[in-house]
Amino acid sequence: GAVVSQHPSWVICKSGTSVKIECRSLDFQATTMFWYRQFPKQSLMLMATSNEGSKATYEQGVEKDKFLINHASLTLSTLTVTSAHPEDSSFYICSARDPPRVYEQYFGPGTRLTVT
Amino acid sequence: RKEVEQDPGPFNVPEGATVAFNCTYSNSASQSFFWYRQDCRKEPKLLMSVYSSGNEDGRFTAQLNRASQYISLLIRDSKLSDSATYLCVVPSHSGSARQLTFGSGTQLTVLP
Q: pLDDT of B35-67, one tens digit each?
A: 999 998 899 998 998 888 888 999 999 999 999
Q: pLDDT of A89-113, one tens digit each?
A: 999 999 998 766 667 788 999 999 9
Task: Tell me which of B8 and A46 has the higher pLDDT.
Answer: A46
Interface probe, candidates A9, A23, A43, A57, chain B, greatest B C-beta count within 10 A: A43
Chain Cα centroid distance, residue A58: 12
Measured from the Cβ of residue B30, the count of other Cβ atoms closer than 10 Å reads 20
Residue of B79, B87, B91 lying closest to B103 (CA atoms)? B87
Report whether B48 contacts B34 (CB < 8 A).
Answer: yes
Q: How far away is chain A from the Cα of B55, in angstroms, using its nearest Cα?
A: 15
Asked if B74 is an interface residue toward chain A (Cβ–Cβ < 8 A), one would say no
Q: Cα–Cα distance between B23 and B10 in angstroms, integer?
A: 15
Q: pLDDT of B14-39, one tens digit each?
A: 999 999 999 999 988 888 899 999 99
Q: Cα–Cα distance between A18 and A42 in angstroms, integer?
A: 25
Dihedral of CA A57/A60/A62/A63: which sign?
positive
Chain Cα centroid distance, residue A2: 17
Q: pLDDT of A51-78, one tens digit each?
A: 888 889 999 999 999 999 998 888 999 9
